[in-house]
Structure 1
Amino acid sequence: MATYKKRGYKPKTEKEKTEVIEDNSTTAEVFNTLDEGANKAELWVGKNQKGIFIIIGVAAVILLGYLAYNKFIAGPKAEEAMNEMFTAQKYFNQAVTGESADSLYTLALKGGEGKFGMVDIASEYSGTPAGNLANYYAGMAYLNTKDYTNAVKYLSDFTTDDAVLGPVAKGGIGDSFVQLNQLEDALDYYEKAISASTNDYTTPMYLFKAGNVAQSLGQKDKALQYFERIQQEFSDSDQAKNIEVFIGRAEASAN
Structure 2
Amino acid sequence: MAAYNKRGYKPKTKKEKEVIEENESATAEVFTTLDEGAGKTEEWVEKNQNIILYTVIAIAVIALGIWAYTEFVLEPKGEEALQESVQADEFYQMAVNATGEEQDSLFNLALEGGEGKYGLLKIADEYSGTEAGNIANYQIGMAYLNLGGANYQKAIDYLTAYDGDGSVMEAYANAGIGDALVQVGQEADAISYYNKAADIVPNEFTTPKYLLKAAQASLNTGDYSAAIKNLERIEEEYPEAAEAQTAQILLGQAEAAAN
Do these two structures clear the TM 0.5 threshold for a shared fold by scoring above it?
yes
Shift of 1:249: 0.6
Give the corresponding residue for 1:152: 156
2:139 is equivalent to residue 137 of structure 1: yes
Q: Which of 100, 103, 109 is the equivalent residue of 1:101?
A: 103
Q: Distance in 2 between matches of 1:71 and 1:94?
A: 34
- Name stretches of at least 5 consecutive residues in structure 2 with no aligned partner: 1-69
SS at 2:239 equivalent: coil
Shift of 1:194: 2.3
Q: Which of 171, 178, 184 is the equivalent residue of 2:175?
A: 171
* More helix per residue: 2
Give the corresponding residue for 2:119: 117
Q: Distance in 2 between matches of 1:159 and 1:92?
A: 19
Question: C-alpha deviations, 1:166-208, integer Å up to 9, x for none?
Answer: 1110010000000000112111211221232212222111100
Which deviates more from structure 2 when the two are superposed, residues 116-125 or residues 181-190?
Answer: 181-190
Give the corresponding residue for 1:127: 129
TM-score of the superposition, structure 1-length normalised?
0.70
TM-score of the superposition, structure 2-length normalised?
0.69
Regions of 4+ moved over 3 Å: 70-73
Q: Distance in 2 between matches of 1:241 and 1:114?
A: 49
Root mean square deviation of aligned Cα: 1.5
Give the corresponding residue for 1:191: 195
Shift of 1:71: 7.5
The structure number with the bigger radius of gyration is 2
Q: Distance in 2 between matches of 1:97 and 1:145?
A: 14
Question: Which structure exhibits the higher relative contact order, with contacts defined as CA atoms closer than 8 Å and separated by 6 or more residues?
Answer: 1
Paired residues in the alignment total: 186
Give the corresponding residue for 1:65: none
Q: From the superposition, tell whether residues 72 and 236 of structure 1 become closer, same or farther in structure 2 (CA, over 3 Å).
A: farther
- Name stretches of at least 5 consecutive residues in structure 1 with no aligned partner: 1-69
2:247 is equivalent to residue 210 of structure 1: no
Question: C-alpha deviations, 1:98-119, integer Å up to 9, x for none?
Answer: 2400000001111111111111
Give the corresponding residue for 1:87: 87
Q: From the superposition, tell whether residues 205 and 116 of structure 1 become closer, same or farther in structure 2 (CA, over 3 Å).
A: same
